[in-house]
Amino acid sequence: MSASQAVFSGWMEIPDSAVDDKARQYAEEAALAALVSQYAGTLYRVAFSVLRNPSDAEDAVQEAFLRVLRHRDTLGEVRDQRVWLIRIVWNIVLDRKRRAKTRPETDDVADLARVLPSGGMSAEQIASAAQHHAHVLAYVERLPAKEREVLMLSAFEELNSVEIASVLEISESSVRSRLFRARNLMAGLLDHTRSLR
Amino acid sequence: MNSQNRNSFSNHSACGDEPSAAEATLRLIARLPAPEGLEDRVHARLAADLRKGRILAWPTTLKADSGWMRTAAAAAIVFVVAGGGWGIYSRIPQPPSAKTILLQPRGPVQGGFSSSGAMRTPQTLNGPLLINPATPKLPATKAPFKTPGHPSLKPIRHGQLGGSSKNSVQPVAPVAK
């Protein structure tokens, strides 16, 4: 059946535009399914790095794809879908964190020990490592927001500085300067605690 | 994880081992695998929302390209603007004309002093004082009419007007009020 032909089904005439819309809808849904299969894991890790709560992170991923579904007609205009999706989920998790104003669940050492990979370590080693990571994460939370965000995103190896700049909507030089400041601040915080001990 | 996209910060340690230790923690968290079945759950959620119709896509047949849609939208805008304007106009009370001045009735003020029924009368201007009232002119040229039978009224002769006659008519003295 060509697109220009009208399809008659009994008394009802199906216009060409309806056929095109149906085909377009299927194409959009297929593209969205491909995006979910390809980037759901990446988005989950981005969400978890901020929220540090598995269920909240998964909920943020689902909300991100729901937003994509709402704007699925503009999917073709997106240049870099991966960075676009990370920016969506990044904004969602920052918004949730701002609204919740609560400590991340896994800042508790026991929860962190449960989430982090053991890698053949003993129970004592796992507990010690979890305590160390919880300690470091507590200091990361004390960094200023701009520096903390860059430091968190820099931990993702699949994001280069240009993409981090695109996610945060700042320049690449700003990313580098903020990262430098974040490292200096972290060094100062850790030195301070070491001197207190 | 794509090694080609590895960023330049991963092996970069500008400030000794502390930042790298902190970044190692963040990297450890960033490498955590997604839970099993995440994609299936996301697919299921999207399908459920599509089925429920919670995602309302703008019908493509109602896009702004169609002429009647534009006309209807323009008419709706005009209707809303005009209706809103009329609503505002009808609610604003019209100011009274210059000839009629509406004064609010004076009522007793709660908790204040009463006037005990006294009415205020405005002061009026004093009227003009009559100092030299006009005297009635006596017709001198005409002949006085005779009143028969009345001895006190006699015709006045010439020269007797300012005289000392007892029956002469004296001018009325001014009365001071």
pLDDT in tens, A146-159: 999 998 899 888 78
Q: Chain B contact for A184, CB < 8 A?
A: yes
Per the structure block, which two tokens stand in for B150? 């009345």
Task: Kindly indicate the confidence band of residue B148, based on its pLDDT and cuts at 50, 70 and 90.
Answer: low
Closest CA to A156 of A38, A39, A48, A45: A45
Most confident of A3-7, B8-12, B23-27, B63-67: B23-27
Task: Kindly indicate the confidence band of residue B73, based on its pLDDT and cuts at 50, 70 and 90.
Answer: very high
Q: Least CB-CB distance to A159: which of B7, B16, B33? A: B7
As a whole number, the mean pLDDT across chain A is 80
Place of tokens 């309302």: B56
Residues 6+ apart with CB under 8 A from B168: B156, B160, B161, B162
Collapsing DSSP to helix, strand or coil, A9 comes out as: strand
* Element at A8 (helix H, strand E): strand A7-9
Question: Do residues B39 and A196 lie in contact, with contact meaning Cβ atoms separated by under 8 Å?
Answer: no
What single DSSP character describes residue A197?
Answer: -
Tell me, what's the pLDDT at B162? 46
Judge whether residue A27 has pLDDT over 60: yes
Q: What percent of chain B has pLDDT over 70?
A: 46
Give φ, ψ of A121 to 5 degrees. -85, 160
The predicted model gives B122-129 an average pLDDT of: 77
Closest CA to A46 of A74, A16, A85: A85
User: A152: distance to nearest CA of chain B, Å?
Assistant: 6
Tell me, what's the pLDDT at A102? 57
Judge whether residue B6 has pLDDT over 80: no
Task: Kindly indicate the confidence band of residue A168, based on its pLDDT and cuts at 50, 70 and 90.
Answer: very high
Judge whether residue B128 has pLDDT over 80: no
Question: Do residues A40 and B38 lie in contact, with contact meaning Cβ atoms separated by under 8 Å?
Answer: yes
Closest CA to A131 of A118, A116, A117, A112: A112
Tell me, what's the pLDDT at A7? 43
Mean pLDDT check: name the lowest of A160-169, A187-196, B94-103: B94-103
Task: Kindly indicate the confidence band of residue A3, based on its pLDDT and cuts at 50, 70 and 90.
Answer: very low
Does residue B39 or residue A118 have the better pLDDT?
A: B39
Per the structure block, which two tokens stand in for A128? 């010690």
Tell me, what's the pLDDT at A47? 92
Residue in chain B nearest A161 by alpha carbon: B7
B65 neighbourhood in chain A, CB within 8 Å:
none
Tell me, what's the pLDDT at A176? 92
Query: CA A184 to CA B13: how far, in whole Å?
Result: 10
CA of A63: how far to CAs of A84, A169, A190, B41, in Å? 14, 21, 36, 12
Query: CA B86 to CA B53: how far, in whole Å?
Result: 38
Judge whether residue B2 has pLDDT over 50: no
Residues 6+ apart with CB under 8 A from A142: A189
Q: Least CB-CB distance to B34: which of A17, A45, A49? A: A45
pLDDT tens digits for A32-85?
888 898 899 999 999 998 888 888 899 999 999 998 888 877 777 778 888 999
Does residue B58 or residue A91 have the better pLDDT?
A: A91
Does the complex come out with an ipTM higher than 0.85? no
Range 53-112 of B in CB contact (< 8 A) with A:
55, 57, 60-61
* Element at A13 (helix H, strand E): strand A12-14
Does residue B95 or residue A14 have the better pLDDT?
A: B95
Does residue A8 or residue B9 have the better pLDDT?
A: B9
pTM given for the model? 0.57
The predicted model gives B107-117 an average pLDDT of: 69
Query: CA B7 to CA B1: how far, in whole Å?
Result: 12
Task: Kindly indicate the confidence band of residue A23, based on its pLDDT and cuts at 50, 70 and 90.
Answer: confident
Q: Least CB-CB distance to B18: which of A24, A157, A190? A: A190
Residue A160: count of CB within 10 angstroms of its CB: 19
Q: Least CB-CB distance to A186: which of B8, B19, B43? A: B19
Range 75-134 of A in CB contact (< 8 A) with B:
115-117, 132-133
